[in-house]
Every structure is written in C-alpha cells, then in structure tokens.
Structure 1
C-alpha cells in the first residue's frame, strides 16, 4: 500500500489534504512540523512514496527538515514535493513544488508522479 507523509502546520489544510489522499486510496501519515515529521518517519516502519512538505512552519520549518532529511542516506531516497504560498523556488533536494493555493487535480497529479497505483 502506498503511503504519503503530509507535513503542514495548518490543521485544516493538513486534514483536507489527508482526506483527499485517503479518498484516492493512499495511507496518509501527518505531521504538523518538520520535527514531528522526522519522528513520524521513524515510527512508520516503511518509507512513504512521497513527502508533501509545507515550508513555513513553527518548531522546524521545511528548510531545516530538508537539511536533516537529505543528510540521511535512507530518507534522501524519498521524493519531497513542497508546497508554499511565499517561496518561488523549491529548496535544494526537493523533487517538485506546488504553489498554494493549489487545485486538487494538481495535488493528485504530483502525488501520482511518485506513487504508482498498485
């Protein structure tokens, strides 16, 4: 089963993205900041097919998360799609970027590019 990790500090947006992806058949894990995302990855038991990452978050933002994520030889194999309203270019190591606000088809297309249907 394909799983996706959604890292977003806005609870409503995090829940909406999770619901959309679950409706499409994905197993969704969520985290509200980069630190929580690193902890969640340690508990998952398997790597997600993609991480959807907000950049502007408290505690540990997406940039700090990317530094830690990409320094790990196992984690660095997982694609990261960042979404942001304020940043024009994705950080180094990001696989793709979606500008907020985004349309549902754009979200699903980005995820489908890294998570083939089983």
Structure 2
C-alpha cells in the first residue's frame, strides 16, 4: 500500500514550501502625484509591488526601511527638495543602495551618463519591458 503523502525519508510528510513572489518591488520616485499614482496602479495591475516617493529625500528614507528592498528604482530628475541627480549621487555613497538598478523616467533631455532612460510622456509598454527585464 502506498503512503498517502510523499516523504523525504524523515518521520513526516514531505512539505514543498510555496515560493515567494519572485518579482522584486519597484521604487517609483516622481513629484507629479497624478503620474506617480497612474504608474503605480498600472504596475500593480501587472503584478508588481510598488513603493512611492515624491522626491529624492523621501525615497532615500524609504530605501533605508524597505523590506524587501526594491529591484528597480524609477526616478524622475526634476523634483523639489532633492533632485534625481542628487539622489543618484547619494545612492552611490551606500554600497547596498548603489547596487539597485535605476531607470530615469523624465522629460529632461538626457540622463546622467551610464543610466537607463525613458522619456516622458511615458510609453507604458516600454516601461513595463524595463521592469520585467529587471524585476522578473
């Protein structure tokens, strides 16, 4: 007679844990509240968890508390309090944060050197392609 539950040679049934969601969350940093909310909703409807911040300072504070940390930062350049470029410089100062990929999403004419870039108005399918490639 076969056992009702497969075993792994131990005293009880073999338990296969359910894997966690393999998709890393996204940090969306933009001072435009309407755009930030629209992108958050679109990304969440595509199955991603999204952290939001309205400027670089708020985003850095959130990064120090985020668990799990984001797998991608979508970053506007022109913001009050702390600009995207200032935030990029601050990220480079902290080893754990410097490893997080950043894609600039801005109406600005060009990104800082070595940074991925999407121009506003945002093509959501292009944005989703970047997110899927980076975060799964």
Alignment TM-score > 0.5, same fold: yes
Residue 32 (structure 2) pairs with residue 32 (structure 1): no
Residue matched to 1:75 = 97
Q: Which has the higher contact order (CA 8 A, sep 6+)?
A: 1
| Gapped regions of structure 1 (runs ≥ 5) | none
Matched, 1:49 2:81: no
- Is 1:110 matched with 2:123? no
User: TM-score, with normalisation over the residues of structure 1?
Assistant: 0.92
The structure carrying a bigger strand percent of its residues is 1
Matched, 1:86 2:84: no
Q: Could you state the TM-score of these two structures normalised by the residue count of structure 2?
A: 0.80
1:11-22 → structure 2 map (5 Å cutoff): 11-22=33-44
Is 2:91 the counterpart of 1:65? no
Runs of 4+ in 1 over 6 A off after TM superposition: none
Aligned CA-pair RMSD: 1.1
Q: Which runs of 5+ in 2 are unaligned?
A: 1-20
* Separation in 2, partners of 1:93, 1:32: 23
